[in-house]
Structures are given as structure tokens and as C-alpha cells.
């Protein structure tokens, strides 16, 4: 059994996983999640702001300590949409390097394949369409896990996420309550960018049996729908949401101020500023893919990343073709 640790730094959330992998399967995985809001102001300035950079560094320092305490001998750190977009990502990478951590800014296509690898563990042999809805982008991938090998029909990364939608359309007012026109513009933006996905599905060599979605928005929407306090990952994982569920919660959230959203049972207060933008994106994912319901998964990029890191440690072929950079944890 191989123990590995992984950090994934997204536009809104940074997450740590310490995983035990055996025979190409994640046997155990412990996760930590912290809202660091790396993408704060990025849509407007094009840069990671100083406050966001410091939040991430503080978080990563804690994660490195936790991984060492858990006895993980190696670490892999990936960064996604915000780091891809920011003009000053190199400054943050240099700060990581000074700590002995070699972080990788991964393309959206790699992000999508890692997520597909993680999600497909729960659907062996079954063609699944996955949507990883994050803060800055959404990755779509269609494929299946057959005899331990990942068969990928397509992967597409699209720049629609909860932070991006919020900053472009839903943050003009101090209280965060949008006008009907602003909300409609947010939907039009997401719908337009997601439109090509229908064509990719129609032309694919396999037909998806279900839509499986991951990310902080959908897990939060499950928790909000059930007024889930405290959060229970066993309840959220593989739970279903219908388009009607998402539309109802979106309407409720749109009528609230950010301060009121922060009081909603099941929602992390720090996610209150971006949850409405996320709900817009999720509803348009359902419309673009033609599914009336989605399945929420917690076996996401971190699962796929753990499997890929374990393969690299063992000297085996990468299950997604991408080679992770490993940091030894003394």
C-alpha cells in the first residue's frame, strides 16, 4: 500500500488529500478543505491580489505540516483555473519553491481527465459524463473505466465558474442581490459558453449513462437542499439533484443578500458570496448536457490525482498520460 499526499489549489478552495492507494484503487482518503479565494478580484485585475496570495501560503504551510504528520512521504501540488489566468502566478510558484514545494499549473484538459479518473472509480465499465464545476472554469469529460484503464471520449475545459460568473455579473451591489437583468445576463453567458458541449456529446463514440458533477457549488447545494448541519460527506456523495431543485434554490438565493445567504443552513458562510453564481453555472450545465438530474460526487480530482501520484511513485504508467512532479516530504 502506498501513502501519498496531494494539494489542489483552485479559484475558491484549496484542498489537501492524504490517500492510501493499493492495486490502482484509493483504499482510504482523508481530506481537508479551506476557502482561500485565490481568484478574488482576478477577473477585474488579471492578477492574484496580495491578500489572496497570503491566504494560500498560510493554508499550504498548514497542509504541508499535516501531510508530514500523517506520514506521507511525497506530495504533489496542482493549481488550476485562477493560476492559469493570473499574470503573476509565477510569484506564488516562487513562494512555494522557497518552501521546497514544486507546484504545477495544469491545463484544463489534464484537470478534466484527473477528475474523470476519480469519479469513474464509482462507475466501473459505465460511460459517464462528468462536469467539474469550480471557481473559474468547468471541465467536461466523457469516458469510462474498463479493466483499470481509462477510456476517454473527449475532454473540454470552459471558463465558467462560480467566482468568474459572480465577478462578471453578480457583484455590482453591496448587498449582493442582483437585478433580474443581471441574473439573466449571467445565465446567457454560461449558456453561450456551454453550448458546444451538446455537440461533443452527440458526436462522441460512447453515450453517457449519467451526468456526474463535482465541486464546491454542487456539494453545497446538496447540503443546502437538505439543511445538512453538520456537513456529512457520506450523505452528499452520489446524492442526486434535479434541474428543478437547482432552479428553486437559485431563486431563493437570488432574493437574499450575501449576509442572509451566509446564515443558510448547510452553506459555509465564506461560500455565500459565490454560491449564486455557482447555481447559475450548474443549472446551465444541466441544460447544455440535456440531463434533467445530476449525481454529485466527492470522488473528484483529488482521487484521480492520488491514483496518478501513486502510479508515479511505483514507476508505473500514468493513468491519464500526465506526469506529476513529486516533492519529497522530509
Residues 89 and 215 in one domain: no
Residues 160 and 53 in one domain: no
Residue 280 lies in a domain: yes
How far is residue 288 from each of residues 131, 133, 180, measured CA to CA in Å?
11, 14, 21
Q: Cell for 235?
A: 450523505
Residues 69 and 217 in one domain: no
Q: Cell for 220?
A: 453545497
Backbone angles phi, psi at 222, to 5 degrees: -60, -45
Model pLDDT, residue 228: 96
In this structure, are residues 12 and 163 in contact, taking their beta carbons and an 8 Å threshold? yes
Residues 157 and 61 in one domain: no
CA distance 142 to 128: 6
Model pLDDT, residue 321: 95
Note the Cα 203 to chain centre separation in Å.
26
Residue 315 lies in a domain: no
Residue 264 lies in a domain: yes
String of DSSP letters for 261-308: HTTSTTS-GGGTTTHHHHHHHHHHHHHHHT-SEEEE-S--HHHHHHHH
CATH of residue 181: 3.30.420.150
Among 164, 237, 171, 228, smallest CA distance to 12 is for 164
Residue 147 lies in a domain: yes
Is the full-model pTM beyond 0.85? yes
CA distance 321 to 308: 9
pLDDT tens track, the chain, 330 positions: 899 999 999 999 999 999 999 988 899 999 999 999 999 999 889 999 999 999 999 999 999 999 999 999 999 999 999 999 999 999 999 999 999 999 999 999 999 999 999 999 999 999 999 999 999 999 999 999 998 899 999 999 999 999 999 999 998 898 989 999 999 999 999 999 999 999 999 999 999 999 999 999 999 999 999 999 999 999 999 999 999 999 999 999 999 999 999 999 999 999 999 999 999 999 999 999 999 999 999 999 999 999 999 999 999 999 999 999 999 997
CA distance 324 to 193: 30
Residues 277 and 129 in one domain: yes
In this structure, are residues 61 and 314 in contact, taking their beta carbons and an 8 Å threshold? no
Residues 165 and 205 in one domain: yes
CA distance 55 to 39: 11
CA distance 32 to 57: 15
Residues 101 and 155 in one domain: no
Residue 304 lies in a domain: no
CA distance 140 to 20: 27
Model pLDDT, residue 94: 97
Residue 236 lies in a domain: yes
Residues 137 and 276 in one domain: yes
Residues 133 and 219 in one domain: yes
**Each residue of 95-117: pLDDT tens digit?**
999 999 999 999 999 999 999 99
Model pLDDT, residue 201: 98
Residue 65 lies in a domain: yes
CATH of residue 69: 3.30.420.40
Model pLDDT, residue 23: 87
Among 26, 92, 111, smallest CA distance to 322 is for 111
Residues 17 and 60 in one domain: yes
Residue 318 lies in a domain: no
**Each residue of 13-52: pLDDT tens digit?**
999 999 999 988 899 999 999 999 999 999 889 999 999 9
3-class secondary-structure state, position 34: strand
Residues 167 and 287 in one domain: yes
CA distance 260 to 116: 35
Model pLDDT, residue 133: 97
Among 318, 223, 205, 316, smallest CA distance to 264 is for 223
Q: Cell for 256?
A: 437574499
Residues 99 and 137 in one domain: no
- Name the domain count of the chain: 2
**Each residue of 271-305: pLDDT tens digit?**
999 999 999 999 999 999 999 999 999 999 999 99
- Quote the domain boundaries for residue 10: 2-107+324-328
The β-bridge relationship of strands 74-79 and 2-9 is: parallel
Strand partners, 4: 19
H-type helices in the chain, by residue range? 42-45, 50-69, 81-85, 89-98, 108-120, 162-165, 180-194, 196-203, 216-225, 233-236, 243-254, 258-261, 275-289, 301-313
Amino acid at each position: 500500500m502506498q501513502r501519498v499526499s496531494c494539494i489542489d489549489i483552485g479559484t475558491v478552495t484549496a484542498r489537501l488529500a492524504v490517500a492510501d492507494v493499493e492495486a490502482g484503487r484509493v483504499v482510504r482518503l482523508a481530506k481537508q478543505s479551506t476557502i482561500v479565494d485565490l481568484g478574488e478580484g482576478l477577473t477585474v485585475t488579471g492578477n492574484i491580489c496580495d491578500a489572496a496570495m497570503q491566504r494560500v501560503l498560510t493554508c499550504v504551510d498548514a497542509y504541508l505540516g499535516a501531510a508530514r504528520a500523517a506520514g506521507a512521504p511525497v506530495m504533489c501540488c496542482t493549481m488550476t483555473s485562477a493560476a492559469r489566468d493570473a499574470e503573476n502566478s509565477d510569484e506564488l510558484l516562487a513562494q512555494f519553491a522557497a518552501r521546497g514545494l514544486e507546484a504545477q499549473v495544469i491545463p484544463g484538459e489534464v484537470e478534466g481527465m484527473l477528475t474523470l479518473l476519480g469519479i469513474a472509480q464509482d462507475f466501473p465499465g459505465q460511460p459517464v459524463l462528468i462536469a467539474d464545476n469550480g471557481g473559474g472554469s468547468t471541465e467536461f469529460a466523457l469516458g469510462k473505466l474498463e479493466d483499470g484503464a481509462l477510456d476517454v471520449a473527449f475532454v473540454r475545459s470552459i471558463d465558467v465558474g462560480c467566482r468568474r460568473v459572480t465577478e462578471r455579473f453578480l457583484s455590482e451591489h453591496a448587498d449582493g442581490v442582483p437585478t433580474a437583468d443581471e441574473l439573466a445576463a449571467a445565465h446567457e453567458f454560461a449558456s453561450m459558453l456551454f453550448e458546444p458541449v451538446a455537440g461533443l456529446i452527440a458526436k462522441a463514440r460512447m453515450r453517457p449513462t449519467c451526468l456526474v458533477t463535482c465541486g464546491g457549488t454542487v456539494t453545497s447545494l446538496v447540503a443546502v437542499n437538505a439543511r445538512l448541519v453538520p456537513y456529512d460527506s457520506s450523505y452528499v456523495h452520489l446524492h442526486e439533484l434535479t434541474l428543478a431543485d437547482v432552479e428553486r434554490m437559485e431563486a431563493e438565493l437570488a432574493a437574499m443578500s450575501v449576509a442572509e445567504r451566509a446564515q443558510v443552513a448547510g452553506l459555509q458562510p465564506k461560500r455565500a458570496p459565490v454560491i449564486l453564481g455557482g447555481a447559475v453555472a450548474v443549472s446551465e450545465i444541466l441544460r447544455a448536457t440535456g440531463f434533467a438530474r445530476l449525481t454529485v460526487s466527492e470522488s473528484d480530482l483529488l482521487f484521480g490525482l492520488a491514483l496518478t501520484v501513486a502510479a508515479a511513485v511505483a514507476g508505473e504508467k500514468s493513468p491519464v498520460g500526465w506526469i506529476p512532479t513529486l516533492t519529497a516530504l522530509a
